[in-house]
Structure 1
Amino acid sequence: MNPLQARDLVIDIPGRTDGQPLGFTVEPGQMWGVLGPNGAGKTTLLHTLAGLHAPRHGEVFLGDHSLSGIRRRQISRQLGLVFQERQDSFPATVLETALIGRHPWLSPWQMESAADENLAKQALEEMDVVHLADRLVNTLSGGERQRVAIATILTQAPDTWLLDEPTNHLDLHHQVSVLQLLTEQARSGRSVFMCLHDLNLAARWCDHILLMYPNGDVCWGPARQMLVPAALERLYNQQLMTVEADGAPVFVPVRD
C-alpha cells in the first residue's frame, strides 16, 4: 500500500494570496485528523489530496508517482473520498449507491457481479443500513445517508480513505461505530485522513493531527504533540480546560 504525500503543497483558497506549504506523508496504518475553524481550508485540502482541486503550488504523490500523472480509474482504486455534503441527482436505491464503490474495479459497461453485490451488502450490514437496501437514498435521513456514503467507500476498498466530517449527522452510537471501523481499516494497513470538528473525537481516535489556522499557518505531527491547549486555543480563539479520561485528553471550553 502506497503512502500519500503532500510535497511543498499550497492549496488554492479563493481570497487568500499566500499559505504555508504542506509537506507531510500519510503512511499505511495511520489515522490523521485535520482540525481548524470554518473557512480554514480543510475541505479544499481534502479535495486537493484526492486530485479534484488543483493546488496553487506543489504536488500530491501516491508512492513514487505524482497524482497528476495517474489515470483517474487507478487513483480511484487507491483513494476513496467521502464528501461532507452530497447531492442525489438521480434516484438510486441504497444498494445501487453502495455498488458505485465497485465501479473503479469494473471495465466500461461491465455489470456488477454477485461477488460485488455481496461486498456491498456486507458493507451496508457493517454500517447498520442493510435493512434500507431497497430504499431510495433521497428518502433517507442525514445520518442514514452518511452511513450509506461510508458503506460505499467500504465497498470500494481503497488503500487510503479521505473523509470530510465522517461523523456528520450521526448520533453518538454511530459516531463510535464509524470511528471503530476506520480504526480497523488503519490496523489492516490502510490509511485514514479525515477532517473533524470535534476535538475530543480527534484526541480519542487519531494518532496524527494537522492543524489549519485561518491565516494560512499549518502544523502537523503526532497527536500528543499537536493536541496541546496553547495550539488549540489559538486555533479556535477559545480558552480550553483539559482533563484526561481513558488515557486521552478531553477538552472543555471555558465559560466567560
Structure 2
Amino acid sequence: MTSLEAHGLIVDVPGRASGRPLDLRMAPGERWGVLGPNGAGKTTLLHTLAGLRVPRGGEVHLEGRALSRWRRREVARRLGVVFQERHDEFPASVLETALIGRHPYLSPWQREGETDIARAREALRHLELEHLEDRLVSSLSGGERQRVSLATVLTQAPCWWLVDEPTNHLDLHHQVATMALLEQQARQGCGVVMCLHDLNLAARWCSHLLLLYPDGEACWGAARDMLVPEALERLYNQALTTVDVDGAPVFVPVR
C-alpha cells in the first residue's frame, strides 16, 4: 500500500475564484481529518481525491501515478468512498448492497461466489447488521443506512478509505464503533481520509488534520500541531474553550 498525494491540487469549488494549491502526501496508516465550515469544499475535495471530480488545477497521484491514468476498475480496488448522500435507485437487500463492494473484483456478468458472500456477511457482522441482511435498504433508518455504506466499503477492502462524515446519523455507541473501525483499518495499513464536523472526534481519532477555510486558504499537518484554539476559532468563526480530559483536549463552544 502506498501514498495518496496532491500535487498543486486546486479543487473546483463553485463560486470560489481560487484557493491555495494543496501539496501534501497522505501515507498508509494515517488518519486524516478534513475540517472546515459548511461550503469550504470538504466534500468536493474528497470527491476530487477519489477521481469523481476534475480539479481546477494540479493532480492527484496514487501509488506515484496520476489518478487520471488509472482505469476506473483499478481505482475502485484501491479507493473506497462513503458518500454523505445516498440514493436507492433500485430495491436491494442489505446483503445485496454490501456485495456491491465486490464488483471491482468480478468480471462482467460474473456472480458473487461463496467467498464474496462470506466477506460481505463478516462486514455486516462487524457493523452489527447481520440480523438485517434480508431487509430492504430503503426500509432502514438513516443510521442503519450509514452502517450499510461502511459495511459495503469494508467488503470492498480498499487500500484507502475516503469517508464523508462517517458518523452521520449515528448514535453515540455507533459513532465510537465507526471511528474505532477506521482506526483499525489504519493500523492494518490502510489510509483514511474523513470529512468531520466534530472537533472532538478529530482530536481523539485523527493523526493528521487538513483545515479548509471558506476563502480557499488551507493548512495541514500532524493533529497535535493543528489543534490550536486560535486557528480553530478562525476556521469556524466561533469562540472556543479547551478542557483537558485524560490528557486530550476537548473543545467547547463559548456563547
- What TM-score range do you get, normalising by the shorter chain? over 0.9
Distance of 1:24 and 1:117 partners within structure 2: 37
For 1:189, the equivalent position in structure 2 comes to 189
Q: Deviations over 1:45-68 (max 9, x none)?
A: 000000000000000000211000
Distance of 1:56 and 1:209 partners within structure 2: 22
CA-CA distance at 1:9 after TM superposition: 0.1
Indicate whether 1:94 and 2:94 are aligned.
yes
Distance of 2:206 and 2:64 partners within structure 1: 25
TM-score, structure 2 as length reference? 0.99
One-letter amino acid of the counterpart of residue 241, structure 2: M
For 2:82, the equivalent position in structure 1 comes to 82
The runs of 5 or more residues in structure 1 that have no matched partner are none
Q: Any idea what SS the aligned residue of 1:23 has?
A: strand
Indicate whether 1:163 and 2:170 are aligned.
no
CA-CA distance at 1:246 after TM superposition: 2.4
Identity score, percent: 67
Indicate whether 1:48 and 2:54 are aligned.
no
Distance of 1:193 and 1:247 partners within structure 2: 24
Q: Deviations over 1:127-146 (max 9, x none)?
A: 01111000000000000000
For 2:142, the equivalent position in structure 1 comes to 142
Distance of 1:142 and 1:246 partners within structure 2: 32
- The list of structure 1 runs, each at least 4 consecutive aligned residues, that deviate by more than 6 angstroms after superposition, is none
CA-CA distance at 1:233 after TM superposition: 0.1
CA-CA distance at 1:248 after TM superposition: 1.5
Q: Any idea what SS the aligned residue of 2:5 has?
A: strand
Distance of 1:186 and 1:170 partners within structure 2: 21
For 1:123, the equivalent position in structure 2 comes to 123
For 2:154, the equivalent position in structure 1 comes to 154
Distance of 1:234 and 1:162 partners within structure 2: 26
Aligned pairs, number: 255
What is the CA RMSD across the aligned residues, in angstroms?
0.5
For 2:106, the equivalent position in structure 1 comes to 106
Q: Any idea what SS the aligned residue of 2:22 has?
A: coil
Q: Any idea what SS the aligned residue of 1:101 has?
A: helix
Q: Deviations over 1:108-127 (max 9, x none)?
A: 11110001000000000000
Q: Deviations over 1:32-55 (max 9, x none)?
A: 000000000000000000000000
Distance of 1:115 and 1:244 partners within structure 2: 47
For 1:238, the equivalent position in structure 2 comes to 238
